Amino acid sequence: AILLGYDDTLPQELRQKYVAAGAMHILCVSGLHVGVIFMVFSYMLIFLDDRKKNQRVVKHLILLFLIWFYALLAGLAPSILRATIMLSFVIIGNVINKKGVVLNSLAASAFILLCVNPANLFDVGFQLSYVAVIGIVVLQKPILNLIYSKYKIVNKIWEITSVTLAAQIATAPFTIYYFHQFPIYFWLSNLFMTPISSVVIMVGMIMLLIFFIPYVNVAVAWIVSKMIYVMNFGVSWIESLPYSIIKGLYVNDIQFVALLIILLLLL
């Protein structure tokens, strides 16, 4: 479920715990996964970072192939397509020495996906994926600037929290309208779940790459299983906290539109 988005066999009880903890996005293959793959393989191909333009082009073409291969493996869900197309623009921009604007790349990827399948517009995953990224791009920096500390660890914690807050503010109207609930401790779960899940994705991919090496594959798989146990324990603990999730939030179409207008004015 974490690596490839195949969550059909995920127990409903565990799924509900991730929802209540506000960490369900970790089980949805998205920009986090594509970004991790890009960074890992970019580091592995560092020997191609030469001044020769041909080597740089080869590196970026390999990276382009790898992220699209991963998108195909993960089933081409709207969230991963959005991230893959956006990152493709970034990679092509690096090849031709042009830096893009994030919102432009976001709009271009949405335009391409809607040209391919206009029905994507009414897909909940498509809506949440794009709104979350817009929220992060527009709101994260102003939220981050609200608090500053002389201690680096405090700034790092606040940086992760600001990203979570920005995404949650932007997606709140959609969460309430579609799912009739709102997680209270989303900021707490993402504080430790985001770093752990990133490591799980990296180590999990290593596990898939070395599956044929005896003993080493078992050791790496054991590490992955223990890290996933820690993740599941964390969301179970957060879900057990008082008032972890507010349920019964029903809004009609007019109220939903009103919430969207408020969100647009805020953005």
Cβ count near 231 (within 10 Å): 21
pLDDT at 50: 64
Give tens-digit pLDDT for 115-146. 988 988 888 888 888 888 888 888 989 999 88
Instruction: Quote the pLDDT of residue 163.
Output: 86
Task: Please give the C-alpha separations between residue 173 and each of 60, 131, 235, 252, 254, in angstroms, as whole numbers.
Answer: 38, 10, 23, 11, 12
Looking at residue 51, its pLDDT comes to 63
Q: What is the mean pLDDT of residues 166-188?
A: 86
CA distances from 43 to 59, 87, 212, 256 (A): 11, 16, 23, 44
pLDDT at site 258: 94
Model confidence pLDDT, tens digit, residues 53-91:
677 788 888 888 988 988 888 888 777 888 888 888 888
- Higher pLDDT: 229 or 33? It is 229
Q: Which residue has the higher pLDDT, 230 or 24?
A: 230
Across the chain, mean pLDDT equals 84
- Compute the CA torsion angle 146, 150, 151, 152 (nearest 10 deg): 70
The structure tokens listed for 139 are 């709101």
- DSSP H helices in the chain: 12-20, 31-44, 53-73, 78-95, 102-116, 124-144, 152-179, 186-209, 216-240, 253-266
CA separation for the pair 94, 91 (Å, rounded): 5
- Provide the pLDDT confidence category of residue 261 given band limits of 50, 70 and 90: very high
Type of residue at 25: H
CA distances from 57 to 5, 32, 50, 53, 88 (A): 30, 24, 10, 6, 13
pTM: 0.78
